[in-house]
Structure formats: structure tokens, C-alpha cells
A and B are shown apart, each in its own frame.
Chain A
Amino acid sequence: MEILKRTPLYSKHLELGAKMVEFGGWEMPVQYTGIIEEHQAVRRTAGLFDVCHMGEFEVMGAAALPFLQSVLTNDVAKMGAGQIIYTLMCYPHGGVVDDLLVYKQDEEKYMLVVNAGNKDKDWQWLQEQQRKWADNGKDTPTLEDISADIGLLALQGPEAEAILSKICSVSLKDLRYYRFFFAEIAGVNALISRTGYTGEDGFELYVVADNTALVWDALLDAGKEKGLVPAGLGARDTLRFEACLPLYGHELNETITPLEAGLGYFVAWEKGDFIGKEALLAQKQKGVPRKLVGLVMVERGIPRAGYLLEKDGVVIGEITSGSFAPTLGQNLGLAYVVSSEAGLDNEIAVMIRGKAVKAQICNKPFYRRGR
């Protein structure tokens, strides 16, 4: 039997009455009071998420930059210190090992933030590439898995800045999207990053694992008047779904390429060679066989991951994520569809419990926050 890992906030979740579930080898809160309530709180005020399960690796040394340039699709050389980029990490055939964030601290120090369920696989993959570099006589970077030492909280929602400002040692006004700096929160050191996975403004806060509970309590206290609530993985999923942010294992996996996923923007063709480039370039020239699309149900029903899509009785695709979308009040899905049927407004059928239920391809993202 697999022993599930627990974050430093495990007992906090139980005290708050959370419903706990397994996710990526971890025992995590799926909800506290209710998924829809927590979802709406993040859209209207703010929510606080325990995301300590995410993995963090450090890549250090003079070889860090060329190494990352070779294993990641996006262009790390363009980053300034204090900047963050989203990138894919691909296999030679173009399938995705993982999607991740890169934090540049200085020319010789980067942090990668990877999915919990992929952490061990990513770590092995990076070490394998490091060995290959060493075998070829190239200088290699130092890799360190610091996941166990780091606590990670996500404070998300329109009130996030006002709440964090109350207990932060510096002003957050000038911290732009996808930038980070170091400051104190409730008296403890933290890496403060203006990022998130909800489609709202917000922050991700990295602290020493032992300080996680202290910062969690301080934030909930500071946010009480503003309507801050603890939010679970259930709301995290519906929020990212409405914003059409991909989830590994659903919209991404080892057989899907970034181009099929509509993530070509994060593939830097000009930067030189990287793992998967040849295969991706070939696919780019030939055209992708399938595309990730959004769809809205026309008839009653909720599309769910794994349901097939048909057009005139022929299978043309499959749902990767689907849900009732709380902010929009609609039943929506993300799906891979053969490119010839992936046009906007195309009417297709979702096969729900053996019945063909009408749906229509629609624009993505489903939700975009107002400015």
C-alpha cells in the first residue's frame, strides 16, 4: 500500500473540517465548506490554497543556463533576475514530460516548480540528461530537489494584494505578473511570486516548510475582513478549468505535444537546439493532427474526462476536462478533436452514458478576469 504524504498544514485542514482526498501521492484538502462557495470566493474576494505538494528543484552553476535551454522548450536566456516563465519539458518525440515554472534568481541559480504527480519522473529525467551531458564531457549544473524543505501557499483573488500587504514587509504595488522578490511575511522570509493557477490576480508564497503553518494562520487572520477563505483542490480545478489552464494528466501527457495543446507560444524556435525540437518542428510544418478545443453543452449534460466526441456517428475526439463552470453557470469541456472538426461553432455530440448529447465548439478561455 502506498503511504500518502502529508503537507505541514495537514492538521490545519482537519481543524477546518476539510474533506481530504488523494492527489499525486499526497493527502490533500479537496474542499472545506463546498467547491462552489470556495470557487466564488476566489473570483469575488480571495482564497488561500495549500500547494505544498508541488515539487521544487534548484539548478545551479555556470552550466545551469545551457542545461535548461536544452531540456526546456521556452527561452530561459531571455529572463532577467526576478523573472518567471512558464515552459514545457518534452521528450525527443515531442510529448510532454511536464509543464512547469522557471524562476531566475541570478545567472547561476534557477528554481523549477513542477507538478506533484510528476516530481519523481521529472527528477529522474533531469538527472538522466545531466548524466548524458557528463558522459559527453560537458560541464553540468548542480541539481537539488528542495521540495521537502519548502512550503508553498497560493493566495488568489481580487483582494489578494490588499490582504498580503497587511503582513508583508514591502509594497506589492510594483510586483508585476510573473515576477518575484524576497521579503518578509508575518516576520518570516518568503519568496513572493505574482503567479497563480486560477485566472485571478494573486501570489504564490514559498517559505521554509517549518514556517508554512505560521504564514497560513497569519494570512487567514489578515484576510478575515476581506472575505478570505481556505480553498481546496476542488475549487483550484474548477478555477483553472474556467481559465483554460492545462492540467497535466488531462490536457497534457507523454503522447500530447505542446502544439496540439495550443501552447506553441511557449516553444522558442529561435533559441537553438532543445529536446523535442526536431519532432515539434516537423509537426509544425505538417500541421497538428488534433487540437485542444473548448466546448459548451447545447443539450443537458456535463462532459467529463474520458467521454468520447462524435460527429455524424464517427468518433472525432475525447474530453480531457469537463465540469459545471460555477462563474459562468454553464456545462463546459476541454477536448482534443481532430483538426478537421476543430473549427469554432462546429456542432458535435458528447457521448454521455451511451447517448449523443449536443455540444458546440466555443472560444477559449471560458473566463478572463476584467481589468
Chain B
Amino acid sequence: MYPENLRYTKEHEWILVEGKTGKVGITEYAQHALGDVVFVELPEVGTKLKIGESFGVVESVKAVSDVYSPCTGIVTAVNETLLDTPELINQDPYGEGWLIEVEVEELDSELLNSDEYEDFVAEEE
């Protein structure tokens, strides 16, 4: 459920870091808790992000949730496919349901690895 190559926030975002690039999305736990995602609001390419800042919104039928940045950096790509097919977040949260790509300047020092995140989620439930 929580791939080992990802790092996680306590707000249920994941980041995949490869070199200077970080790809960000929400976790399996988050998509399941939200239910059917029907709308996303994402930043524009070039937006500067700071650790812990809200960079967008994911809305399900019932809930409106902010998504928070796991890093400081600049947005280099956004997943435009989600504008028309936000359900990809439910179907494939770690793949086609990614939200943004960032050129990472600094990672949140409190990110969790997959084991730690799994424990954290178990406690929340």
C-alpha cells in the first residue's frame, strides 16, 4: 500500500525524489478516506512552494481538502489530465494520479519512510 521508494508527510502526501526532481501526490490512505475525487485545483508551473504550505485542493463528493508541499522548490509540471479525470487519484494514486513535479531545493526534514508512515496511519485509524 505504501511503496518503499516514496517519502510521506503526516498530511498524507507522498514524494518521489529522483535527483533534483520530486513528484508529489496523495497516498492510498488519503484517496480512500476522501472517497470519489471529483475536482482538483493545482498551482501553475513556476509557482514557488514552501515546506508545509498548501499548494492545491482535492475535492471529493463530500470533502474539500488542502494538499501540502513536502518540499521547498519550484513547480515544473502539473498533471493536467486530472482536470478532466480527477478519478485517476482514486484509481492510481502513486502513478497516473500524481499531482505536481517540483524542482526540489529542500525536503521537509520530518518526512516518513513507508514503514513509519504505515505505523502513523495505523495510529490514526
A and B form one complex: yes
Kindly provide the distance from the CB of A87 to the nearest chain B CB, expressed in whole angstroms.
Answer: 30
Kindly provide the distance from the CB of A9 to the nearest chain B CB, expressed in whole angstroms.
Answer: 21
| Cβ B35 vs Cβ A34 within 8 A | yes
Whether A331 is near chain B, meaning CB under 8 Å from some CB there, is yes
Given known A304-B64, A353-B57, contact A234–B35 (CB-CB < 8 A):
yes
With both beta carbons as reference points, the residue of chain A lying nearest to B38 in the complex is identified as A324
With both beta carbons as reference points, the residue of chain A lying nearest to B59 in the complex is identified as A302
Whether B83 is near chain A, meaning CB under 8 Å from some CB there, is yes
Measured between alpha carbons, how far is A325 from B52 in the docked complex, in Å?
A: 32
| Cβ A302 vs Cβ B35 within 8 A | no
| Cβ A30 vs Cβ B38 within 8 A | no
- Option from B41, B59, B62 in Cβ contact (under 8 Å) with A30: B62
Chain B residues with CB below 8 A from A356, complex form: none
Given known A234-B35, A302-B39, A331-B39, contact A35–B83 (CB-CB < 8 A):
no
- Option from A35, A37, A301, A353 in Cβ contact (under 8 Å) with B62: A35
- Option from A300, A324, A353 in Cβ contact (under 8 Å) with B61: A324
Whether A20 is near chain B, meaning CB under 8 Å from some CB there, is no
| Cβ A324 vs Cβ B39 within 8 A | yes
Whether A36 is near chain B, meaning CB under 8 Å from some CB there, is yes
Chain A residues with CB below 8 A from B96, complex form: none
Chain B residues with CB below 8 A from A304, complex form: 64
Quick one: CB contact mask for B54-89 with A, threshold 8 Å, 1 for yes?
Answer: 000101111010000000000000000001000000
Whether A238 is near chain B, meaning CB under 8 Å from some CB there, is yes
Kindly provide the distance from the CB of B64 to the nearest chain A CB, expressed in whole angstroms.
Answer: 6
Given known A300-B83, A324-B38, A331-B39, contact A35–B57 (CB-CB < 8 A):
no
Quick one: CB contact mask for A24-38 with B, threshold 8 Å, 1 for yes?
Answer: 000000110011110
Interface residue total, chain B, C-beta cutoff 8 A: 12
Measured between alpha carbons, how far is A30 from B35 in the docked complex, in Å?
A: 10
Measured between alpha carbons, how far is A234 from B61 in the docked complex, in Å?
A: 8
Whether A323 is near chain B, meaning CB under 8 Å from some CB there, is yes
Whether B108 is near chain A, meaning CB under 8 Å from some CB there, is no
Of residues 1 through 47 on chain A, the ones whose CB sits less than 8 Å from some CB of chain B are 19, 30-31, 34-37
Given known A35-B36, A234-B35, contact A323–B61 (CB-CB < 8 A):
yes
Chain B residues with CB below 8 A from A37, complex form: 36
Q: Could you say which of A300, A302, A353 has the most chain B C-beta atoms within 10 Å of its C-beta?
A: A302
Measured between alpha carbons, how far is A313 from B57 in the docked complex, in Å?
A: 24
Binding site for A on B (CB under 8 A): 35-36, 38-39, 41, 57, 59-62, 64, 83
User: What are the 5 closest A-B residue pairs judged by CB atoms, nearest first?
Assistant: A324-B38, A35-B61, A36-B36, A302-B39, A34-B36
Binding site for B on A (CB under 8 A): 19, 30-31, 34-37, 234, 238, 300-302, 304, 323-324, 326, 331, 353
- A-B contacts, 23 of them at CB < 8 A, read A19-B35, A30-B62, A31-B35, A34-B35, A34-B36, A35-B35, A36-B36, A37-B36, A234-B35, A234-B61, A234-B62, A238-B61, A300-B39, A300-B41, A302-B38, A302-B39, A302-B64, A324-B38, A324-B59, A324-B61, A326-B61, A331-B39, A353-B57
Known: A302-B64, A324-B39; 20 extra A-B contacts, CB below 8 A, are A19-B35, A30-B62, A31-B35, A34-B35, A35-B35, A35-B60, A35-B62, A36-B61, A37-B36, A234-B61, A300-B39, A301-B41, A302-B38, A304-B64, A323-B61, A324-B38, A324-B61, A326-B61, A331-B39, A353-B57
